[in-house]
């Protein structure tokens, strides 16, 4: 009898608890521009409309355009296209924003005082309009005095599906799918090939120089490209995380074709040996000639890659056999957030794959210094504090130092430091990270928030 009463009590209690339980309402999902002012330097600008969280279903958004000293389809166009100066865009299901591109027409001369006002006029249910519903795009480079931005790296696919390039002076972010390319080709004076850090790319040289003779059997002559963090010899399989072009997996491309080895290349989703690629890179005048195929294929594809001094690198997708626009012009970004190879912290140093890495645009001359708040606060830091700072000119000048992922209350943004970034144009900005979605720092993983302010204009 006691068992029956006890069972009845427990069952009744569970029913009572369930009956009292209320459905938790999510906060409003707001649509906003990521900044209120932006400059167009070059031929196009990418303007981000971001949501508080990913949309459950596809949602329409209308944007009103008000040009000043401009006419649509005469001096500029947009993507998506506008009709009667209204853009009808769609935020896809599972995505947390949409990109609007404004493109300057070819062979058009502008004075620099032209501008375009964009205004979010309506959003589909259940979205609501956020605070930043208006943005002014200047058809000339601007030098921002500061702003707050969110790096929209997250998609329905993962928290780090996009690499996010940030141009502090223009208040601009540019999204680039991290898996869109495999190899990058240096556009400066050297002939260098880089691996896609954000796609878990690794490579090793064979002893052969004729790509047609390389077969699956040659995979036995190199270290396993599908290495584990800390694996002996793995550093040689990846590019060094500081960006030093003399420490890449590929040797410098020789002017003598017979000296250029065939390389085996692997990346995320292509770790099985029969999925590796074989690649040979030669010089082609002032550019590159790339031969490539899957390891077991006999048909060799060839693509020529000319050099373009406006960019740090050109990018090739082995999977699509196409050149990819994966990075803004070298003068149009300062730092980049994304997934990357980093230091596993072992001795000797070995690589591992890392979320939330901040890369510096070192190849275009950007520099960065770390400031501890025990020396001076972010608010108090001014131009006079620049004297005596030690600036680094490496890709990992910020790297992983801005946040902590160790379990516990210390996880998240490191509040005891901020950074000073000297952009390629010579402007100095102080940069402070606000949230990244770990522990008590708030925010959302894959959408780090940071603020910055101009310290000294060139």
CA nearest neighbour of 283 among 406, 376, 193: 193
Dump the DSSP string for 361-422.
-GGGT-EEEEEETTT--TTT--GGGGTT---B-STTSSBTTTEE-SSSTT-EE-TTEEEEEE
Question: Helix, strand or coil for residue 258?
Answer: helix
| Beta strand 301-305 pairing with 287-294 | antiparallel
Residue with more model confidence, 412 or 188: 188
Please classify residue 347 by burial: count the beta carbons closer than 10 Å to its beta carbon, then call 0-12 exposed, 13-18 middle and 19+ buried. exposed
Question: Helix, strand or coil for residue 331?
Answer: helix
Of the pLDDT bands very low, low, confident and very high (cuts 50, 70, 90), residue 11 is very low
> pLDDT at residue 395 above 90?
yes
For residue 439, what pLDDT is reported?
Answer: 78
Question: Helix, strand or coil for residue 35?
Answer: coil
Of the pLDDT bands very low, low, confident and very high (cuts 50, 70, 90), residue 5 is very low
Token pair listed for 399: 């790297």
Of the pLDDT bands very low, low, confident and very high (cuts 50, 70, 90), residue 409 is low
Residue 10: in which H helix or E strand, if any? Answer: helix 2-20
What phi, psi does 202 have (nearest 5°)? -140, 160
pLDDT tens digits for range 251-310: 999 999 999 999 999 999 899 999 999 999 999 999 999 999 999 999 999 999 999 999
278: left (phi over 0), alpha (psi -120 to 50) or beta: beta
**DSSP classification of residue 273:** G
Q: Can you give the pTM of this predicted structure?
A: 0.89
**DSSP classification of residue 132:** -
Weakest mean pLDDT among 18-32, 38-52, 435-449 = 18-32
29: left (phi over 0), alpha (psi -120 to 50) or beta: beta
For residue 408, what pLDDT is reported?
Answer: 67
pLDDT tens digits for range 209-242: 999 999 999 999 999 999 887 888 999 999 999 9
Of the pLDDT bands very low, low, confident and very high (cuts 50, 70, 90), residue 65 is very high
Token pair listed for 28: 């409003």
Residues in the chain: 458
pLDDT tens digits for range 115-130: 999 999 999 999 999 9
Which structural domains are found in the chain, ordered by start?
30-142 (2.60.40.2030), 183-324 (no CATH), 330-456 (no CATH)
pLDDT tens digits for range 81-110: 999 999 999 999 988 899 999 999 998 888
Dump the DSSP string for 151-176.
-----SS-TTSEEEEEETTTTEEEEE
Weakest mean pLDDT among 46-55, 174-183, 405-414 = 405-414
> pLDDT at residue 1 above 70?
no
Q: Are 398 and 432 spatial neighbours (Cβ–Cβ below 8 Å)?
A: no
Q: Are 328 and 366 spatial neighbours (Cβ–Cβ below 8 Å)?
A: no
Neighbours of 28 (CB within 10 A): 12
Token pair listed for 253: 């491309």
Q: Are 126 and 30 spatial neighbours (Cβ–Cβ below 8 Å)?
A: no
Average pLDDT, rounded, for the chain = 92
* Angle subtended at Cα 138 by Cα 134 and Cα 144, rounded to the nearest 5 degrees: 85
- Write the CB contacts of 347 (distance below 8 Å, at least 6 apart in sequence): none
What phi, psi does 362 have (nearest 5°)? -65, -35
CA distances from residue 312 to 122, 191, 307, 308, 396 in whole angstroms, order as listed: 39, 12, 10, 8, 16
């Amino acid at each position: 009898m006691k068992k029956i009463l006890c069972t009845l009590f427990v069952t009744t209690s569970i029913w009572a608890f369930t009956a009292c339980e209320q459905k938790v309402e999510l906060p409003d999902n707001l649509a906003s521009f990521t900044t209120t002012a932006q400059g167009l330097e070059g031929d196009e600008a990418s303007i981000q409309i971001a949501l508080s969280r990913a949309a459950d279903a596809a949602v329409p958004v209308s944007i009103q355009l008000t040009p000043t000293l401009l006419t649509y389809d005469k001096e500029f166009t947009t993507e998506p296209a506008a009709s009667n100066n209204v853009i009808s865009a769609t935020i896809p299901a599972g995505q947390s924003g949409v990109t609007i591109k404004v493109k300057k027409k070819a062979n058009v001369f502008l004075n620099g005082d032209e501008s375009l006002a964009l205004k979010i006029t309506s959003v589909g249910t259940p979205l609501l309009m956020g605070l930043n519903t208006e943005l002014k795009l200047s058809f000339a480079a601007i030098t921002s005095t500061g702003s707050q931005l969110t790096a929209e790296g997250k998609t329905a696919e993962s928290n780090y599906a996009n690499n996010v390039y940030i141009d502090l002076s223009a208040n601009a972010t540019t999204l680039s799918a991290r898996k869109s390319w495999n190899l990058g080709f240096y556009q400066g004076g050297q002939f260098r090939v880089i691996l896609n850090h954000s796609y878990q790319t690794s490579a090793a040289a064979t002893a052969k120089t004729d790509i047609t003779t390389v077969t699956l059997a040659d995979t036995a002559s190199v270290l396993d490209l599908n290495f584990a963090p800390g694996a002996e010899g793995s550093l040689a399989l990846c590019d060094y995380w500081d960006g030093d072009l003399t420490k890449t997996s590929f040797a410098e491309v020789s002017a003598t074709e017979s000296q250029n080895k065939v390389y085996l290349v692997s990346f995320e989703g292509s770790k099985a040996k029969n999925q590796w690629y074989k690649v040979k890179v030669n010089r082609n005048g002032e550019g590159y000639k790339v031969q490539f195929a899957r390891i077991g294929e006999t048909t060799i594809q060839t693509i020529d890659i000319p050099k373009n001094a406006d960019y740090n690198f050109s990018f090739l997708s082995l999977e699509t056999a196409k050149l990819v626009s994966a990075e803004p012009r070298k003068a149009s970004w300062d730092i980049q957030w994304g997934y990357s190879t980093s230091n596993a912290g072992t001795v000797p140093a070995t690589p591992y794959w890392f979320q939330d890495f901040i890369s510096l645009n070192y190849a275009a001359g950007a520099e960065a210094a770390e400031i501890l708040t025990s020396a001076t606060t972010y608010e108090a830091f001014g131009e006079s504090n620049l004297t005596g700072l030690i600036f680094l000119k490496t890709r990992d000048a910020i790297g992983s130092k801005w946040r902590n992922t160790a379990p516990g209350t210390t996880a998240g943004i490191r509040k005891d430091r901020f950074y000073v970034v000297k952009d390629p144009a010579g402007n100095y900005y102080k940069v402070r990270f606000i949230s990244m979605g770990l522990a008590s720092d708030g925010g959302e993983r894959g959408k780090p928030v940071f603020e910055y302010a101009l310290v000294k204009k060139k």
